[in-house]
Amino acid sequence: MQIDILTLFPEMFSALDSSILGRAQKQNKVQIRAINLRDYTEDKHLKCDDYPFGGGAGMVMMAQPIGSAIEALDPDHKARRIYLSPKGQTFRQQKVFELLEYDHLILLCGHYEGVDQRAIDLFIDEEISIGDYVLTGGELPAMVVCDCVCRYVEGVISTSSLVQESFSDNLLEYPQYTRPVEYRGLTVPEVLRSGNHAEIDKWRRQQSERITRENRPDLLAVQEKEDGQR
């Protein structure tokens, strides 16, 4: 999986050099590149943004550096070209599996008031939003998409961790405990120390259902909808 991220702030993506994604990159299982849009500007002062036509606050990212970068990185349009944007469909786990069908993703990060609409019309396949709140840029959303996709790439994390998830899809996780057995008067539930794996599985399933019902009843509704589609 190759992921090219187009941004005015490539330094932000050093966060992906740590932990699991850092290891996956070193092992060459994923190639994540943060590409500076400034490297593609044809403006002699390296300008990549300008004032909005029609007036209003802030700046708009110019179409030219975006178009030139995308054409250079993906001349045959084999990549899925995604703009992280509040106007996109909300990112869900199902989308992760769709994106895994591509070998190459290009993620465009907006800044300021966003990008010239012509860059979207000409060069973008799809807009994705990570949720409904105001951000300073699309960089954190791009990192979210990277993280979600890369963990499913062969060899990035153990398959047993992934299998565990798919069993309980659309359910939240059961509570976890580690040593010691007692901490500040709270003890680990007896069943988890019983060694009875049928009882442990049953307890965990019940806890997952209870937590999902209490905290995220909307997830159960999503599950019923997806079941209906199968």
Of 137, 151, 153, 207, which one interacts with ligand 4G1 (CB under 6 A)? 137
Q: Does 57 bind ligand 4G1 (CB under 6 A)?
A: no
Which phi and psi (to 5°) does residue 28 adopt? Answer: 60, 30
Q: How far is the CB of 200 from ligand 4G1 (least distance, A)?
A: 38
Task: Tell which positions 102-121 bind ligand 4G1, by CB under 6 A.
Answer: 110-111, 114
Of 130, 146, 148, 171, which one interacts with ligand 4G1 (CB under 6 A)? 130
Q: How far is CA 76 from CA 1, 69, 120, 194, in A?
A: 17, 13, 17, 59
- Which CB atom, from 79 or from 88, has the smaller least distance to ligand 4G1? 88
Mark 58-97 with x for binding to ligand 4G1 (rule: CB under 6 A) and - for no binding. --------------------------xxx-----------
- Which CB atom, from 66 or from 171, has the smaller least distance to ligand 4G1? 66
Of 41, 64, 129, 212, which one interacts with ligand 4G1 (CB under 6 A)? 129
With CA atoms as reference, report the closest residue to 70 among 127, 115, 108: 108
Residues interacting with ligand 4G1, by CB under 6 A? 84-86, 110-111, 114, 129-135, 137-138, 141
